[in-house]
Every structure is written in structure tokens, then in C-alpha cells.
Amino acid sequence: MGTKHMNQCKLKSSKFKVQSSKLRNIEHRTLNIINVCIFLGFLLMAGCGRGDIAKSSQVLAKVDNKEITISYFERHMDNLPESLQRLSTEGKGKRALLEAMINREILYNEAIKRKIDKDAEIKRRVEDVKKELVINTLIQKELINKLKVDDKEVQDYYNAHPEEFKNREEIRISQIVVPERKDADDILEKLRGGSDFGELAGRYSTDKSSALRRGDVGYYTYKMLPPEIRDSVFKMKIGETSQAYKMPGGYEIYKITDRRVVSYSFEQAKGAIKLQLLNQKFQESLKSWLDDLKKDVKVQINESLLK
């Protein structure tokens, strides 16, 4: 069931929201890792030379022929976590970020000299990222930017589905996710021997986000759970631990830590409803668009290799 898998159905989650921000996350992923590490390492370093760019109003630095402009610098600053964004505008922080960017360019130039960019695996990964960026830009422009849900649609959905918001029963779940059946059996043996579920989750679970919370993944209704486990898991009692289930993220073991019956007012639910309706419209629009595009594309599948 995994945090990633389970959260697809939660009231406060939104696949649409993830889709609309995915492009931005891809662009930032590599920059964040490099910028944060080098930024911290050069926080107290001295400045760089100005040379022939001293009179420029736009160029902060130059590494051989590569100019680091103010707009380029600010874009990289936006890629940093908020805490480092604040540091980069205080005291030596701005210079440290510039030094980090200079060193990044130096390292990149060295990598190019060694023809690392010609490596087949690097080319494949670059092509994969490029394809994903291009596809998501297309989807953003053609679908997501055009989707709208008005207040009446949200109110109508809330009124038409009282069972989703009034007196609904929820269970709170903790989980342990491990890659192999043998790992799951070892965990179950430890639990039978009296080991603490939360401690084992923190130590062994490969789902790191829930592991940090001792396995807790929050509250779920019956319908929020994946169909293959909902009947057995939802009827479990507080404190009860499940068997190991084979799920997309590996083998998963669950513990029920609470049960409750809750109601959500329209004000509490409207944000999640709007995201849900946007996601529904997105999925419908994407399917319709793909169906139209497929009319002009010849697709062949080697069925024998799928068996």
C-alpha cells in the first residue's frame, strides 16, 4: 500500500496537483542536490575576480565564456530550500551562492573536457529527462492550464456525496515496507517476539517518509484502501497487526492504531473536492486527447514478448 500508493486516495491528496507541479520538480531535482551541497561548503569563502565584467549591470561572474547573469543567479536561488534562500540573501550568503555556481561551472567544464557527456548512459538519462520535460510541458499547456472547476461544481459534489463527508468511519494505519518476502517474514517474527512496530518501521521500512513517523501513514476510509486489501485490513481491530501483503512498493505489513467516526464541513472539504474534480477532468481530457492522437499513429505491439 506504501505512502505513495495510499495517498492517491486520501481526502487531502491530489494527483492533479502532483501532475501540475511535476515539470517544475524535474527541472529542480539535479540543481537542488548540487547547489545545496556546494553552497554549504563555500559559505565562508572569499569573492571572485571581476575582470572585464566590472562595468556590467547584468553579469555577476564569468567562467571562461559562460556568463552568470543576475537572472540566472536568481533562478538558481529559487531552486534552493527556503532556509538556504534566506541565507543566500544575508551577509556572505549571496557571495557563497555565487561561489557555488562558479564551482559548478568549473566542474561542468572539466566533465565536458573529459567527454563524460558523451557517455552512453549519460545520454540515455538526459534523453529520458528531456522527453519527460517536453511531454509535461505539452500537457501543461494543452490540458492543465485550461482546466477549471467553479464553486457550484464543488458545492454540488459535496451535497451529492454525503457518505464521503458525514459520519464516515476511518482507521489509522502504520506500515512497514520491505523489498523481499524473506524480509517481511523476519519482521513478522520479530513482532511475534514482542518487538515494537514503530521501532521496526523506523529501522527497516524502505518507505522513508513513513519510517520517520514510526510507520504512521494517517487515516483512511474503506474506499481509500487498495481493493486487494481493503476487506481484510479495514476490519482489523486497534492494535492488531496484519500479515505481509505483496504490493507495488514491496511487501507491506500494517498495524491499526486508531478508529474514528468523523464529519467534514463544506469549508473543510472544499479544497480537496476541487482538486479531486480537477484531477477527474484532467484524466478524462487526457484520455480523450490520446484517443484522438492515436487515430493518426500506427502502434504495433509484440504480444508474444508480453507473455
Got the DSSP string for 120-165? HHHHHHHHHHHHHHHHHHHHHHHTGGG----HHHHHHHHHH-GGGT
Q: What are phi and psi of 57, to 5 degrees?
A: -95, 0
Is 84 inside any structural domain? yes
Is 137 inside any structural domain? yes
- Relative to beta strand 168-178, strand 216-220 is antiparallel
Is the distance from CB of 4 to CB of 226 less than 8 angstroms?
no
Asked if residue 181 and residue 99 are part of one domain, the reply reads no
The predicted model gives 267-277 an average pLDDT of: 94
Is 296 inside any structural domain? no
Asked if residue 137 and residue 20 are part of one domain, the reply reads yes
Q: How far apart are CA 195 and CA 188, in angstroms?
A: 9
pLDDT band (50, 70, 90) for residue 98: confident
Q: Looking at residue 2, what is its pLDDT?
A: 57
Asked if residue 128 and residue 206 are part of one domain, the reply reads no
Is the distance from CB of 93 to CB of 87 less than 8 angstroms?
yes
Summarize pLDDT for 253-262 with one digit per residue, the tens.
999 999 999 9
Asked if residue 20 and residue 132 are part of one domain, the reply reads yes
pLDDT band (50, 70, 90) for residue 89: low
Q: Looking at residue 48, what is its pLDDT?
A: 43
The number of distinct structural domains making up the chain is: 2
Q: In what order do the strands lie in the sheet with 216-220?
A: 216-220, 168-178, 250-262, 241-247
Asked if residue 240 and residue 191 are part of one domain, the reply reads yes
Extended beta strands in the chain, E state = 59-63, 66-69, 168-178, 216-220, 241-247, 250-262
C-alpha distances (whole Å) from 208 to each of 30, 95, 201, 202, 212 are 20, 34, 9, 8, 6
Summarize pLDDT for 179-202 with one digit per residue, the tens.
999 999 999 999 999 999 999 999
Is 10 inside any structural domain? no
Q: Looking at residue 147, what is its pLDDT?
A: 95
Asked if residue 172 and residue 117 are part of one domain, the reply reads no
Is 231 inside any structural domain? yes
Q: Taking 90 as the threshold, does the pLDDT of residue 140 lie above it?
A: yes
Asked if residue 19 and residue 126 are part of one domain, the reply reads yes
Q: Which of 110, 142, 174 is the last residue of a domain?
A: 142
Asked if residue 219 and residue 119 are part of one domain, the reply reads no
Strand partners, 178: 251
pLDDT band (50, 70, 90) for residue 71: confident
Q: Taking 70 as the threshold, does the pLDDT of residue 113 lie above it?
A: yes
Is 42 inside any structural domain? yes
- Eight-state DSSP code of residue 258: E
Summarize pLDDT for 224-240 with one digit per residue, the tens.
999 999 999 999 999 99
Closest CA to 178 of 130, 249, 229, 89: 249
Q: Looking at residue 242, what is its pLDDT?
A: 97
pTM of the complete model beyond 0.85: no
Range of the domain at 50: 15-142
Pick the range with the lowest mean pLDDT from 53-67, 124-138, 139-153, 248-262: 53-67
> 200: which 3 cell numbers?
521496526
Is 77 inside any structural domain? yes
Q: What whole-number percentage of the chain has pLDDT above 90?
A: 64
The predicted model gives 23-40 an average pLDDT of: 48
Is 286 inside any structural domain? no
> 87: which 3 cell numbers?
541565507
Is the distance from CB of 259 to CB of 161 less than 8 angstroms?
no
> 270: which 3 cell numbers?
472544499
